[in-house]
Amino acid sequence: MHTDLIIVGAGMVGSTLALALRDSGLGITLVDGASLEPAPFDAANAFEPRVSALSAASQRILERVGAWPGIMARRACAYTDMQVWDGSGTGSIHFSAAAVHASVLGHIVENRVVQDALVEQLRRDDRVRLIEGARLEQVRRSGDGWLLTLADGQEVRARLLIAADGANSLVRRLAGCETREWDYLHHAIVTSVRCRESHRRTAWQRFTDDGPLAFLPLERDGDLHWCSIVWSATEAEAARLMAMTDEGFAEALGAAFEQRLGPVLQVDPRLCIPLRQRHAKRYIQPGLALIGDAAHTIHPLAGQGVNLGLLDAAELADALLKAVARGEPFGDERVLGRFERRRMPHNLAMMAAMEGFERLFQANPLPLRWLRNTGLRTVDALPSVKAAFVRQALGMSEDLPPLASPLGQR
């Protein structure tokens, strides 16, 4: 089979790119090893353990590809405030949407909800060919494009190949793309819990001696007592916490969180995920581009991973649409280089900032503890500085791709 463009990986980022390009006139094929069928949604179901903190820029992207109504028809929790504090000192900082005259800072949404809303759009549109339940076996250069061989023997040729197949990207490995990576020596425990007190539409984050602990607000039928937990801990401590009973874990969690929302009353099943940072040395080759976690993975400290990936998709879509409009060869390295030049510095800067925060808050020497607590208190007392952070988080930057821009243009 021949097509113009193959996207491998129909997760949130790959599906968003496919939808963003459906009006391009290109033949688009989306390949995934799983079955792409939205699950019937029941508001009474337990929350999925993996969630994303979607920024306003990500919301605009999802609105413009038609997926946002499907997300809101399921469930999402808007949050208006963020409270961060150092558990080993007195420093704290509070961010508010009201400070920049915005209604919300973002939305906490289960990844499965986002995925199903995107797949609904894909299934309604025959401009994107879906090949599902198809495991990738081989990737190799073929003439001026790529040849993919699937496990069932099917072969697909395309001039442009997009790797959107996650942190352990098989496309990246088979195409010989090099990465820089390192282990954080930490694991993240994720689950959902119900607390005695309402989260008040606030995202909470405490830096503990072992690692950051986040309580991200969830909502079920108006109930504001549920939170998604992301608890970063050393491997040994994570193993100890995972071995606890639900009652023991709830007690330990409440103590680590300083009972800010009262006792933890209910704990859903827990997942434990090793934390590793990874960044591709190049996002592109001739006829190949990496996006999302296939290009970079980041510490879940600020929940920015999916936002970076959606911006990758929006930026690549913009580069390809402009190339098609100009009659340029869309798989050419010069075209793809425009995407790489815009996204790589932004992603590296965010990764460096998260790495710096992680190292600073893991530091035990007294001068560094004093520095981080003083810094938090100082910034908290500077409304203009805090407002700048909030604007950045909201996607109010002028340097956004059209799909993410408030005005739909750059």
pLDDT-based confidence at 367, cuts 50/70/90?
A: very low
Q: Quick one: pLDDT at residue 141?
A: 92
Q: Quick one: pLDDT at residue 267?
A: 98
| Contact in structure between 81 and 96 (CB atoms under 8 Å) | yes
Note the pTM of the prediction, 2 decimals.
0.92
Percentage of the chain exceeding pLDDT 70: 86
Residue type, 87: G
109 within a domain of the structure (yes/no): yes
Which CATH number do you get for residue 341?
Answer: 3.50.50.60
The parent domain of residue 111 ranges over 2-36+46-181+276-394
Q: Quick one: pLDDT at residue 363?
A: 46
147 within a domain of the structure (yes/no): yes
Q: Does position 380 have pLDDT exceeding 80, yes or no?
A: no
Task: Select the more confidently predicted residue: 409 or 365.
Answer: 409
| Contact in structure between 207 and 86 (CB atoms under 8 Å) | yes
Q: Quick one: pLDDT at residue 365?
A: 46
Tell me what the mean pLDDT of segment 222-229 comes to: 96
68 within a domain of the structure (yes/no): yes
Query: Tens digits of per-residue pLDDT, 110-139?
Result: 999 999 999 999 999 889 999 999 999 999
Give the whole-angstrom CA distance, residue 350 versus residue 238: 26
What stretches of 17-152 adopt beta strand conformation (E)? 28-31, 51-54, 77-79, 81-86, 92-96, 106-110, 128-131, 136-142, 145-150
Q: Does position 56 have pLDDT exceeding 60, yes or no?
A: yes
323 within a domain of the structure (yes/no): yes
Lowest-confidence region among 237-246, 276-285, 352-361: 352-361
Tell me what the mean pLDDT of segment 140-149 comes to: 92
Tell me what the mean pLDDT of segment 296-310 comes to: 83
CB atoms under 10 Å from CB of 42, counted, come to 8
pLDDT-based confidence at 392, cuts 50/70/90?
A: low
Which pair of structure tokens corresponds to residue 310?
A: 């959606």
Give the whole-angstrom CA distance, residue 371 versus residue 378: 10
22 within a domain of the structure (yes/no): yes
* pLDDT mean across residues, the chain: 89
Which pair of structure tokens corresponds to residue 40?
A: 């019937």
| Contact in structure between 84 and 229 (CB atoms under 8 Å) | no
60 within a domain of the structure (yes/no): yes
Q: Quick one: pLDDT at residue 349?
A: 82
Q: Determine what percent of the chain falls in helix, strand and coil, rounding each to the nearest 5.
A: 35, 30, 35
Task: Select the more confidently predicted residue: 269 or 359.
Answer: 269
Give the whole-angstrom CA distance, residue 402 versus residue 318: 7
251 within a domain of the structure (yes/no): no
∠ CA 161-118-7, nearest 5°, is 5
138 within a domain of the structure (yes/no): yes
Q: Does position 381 have pLDDT exceeding 60, yes or no?
A: no
Domain count along the chain: 1
Element (H, E) at 358: helix 333-362
| Contact in structure between 323 and 330 (CB atoms under 8 Å) | yes
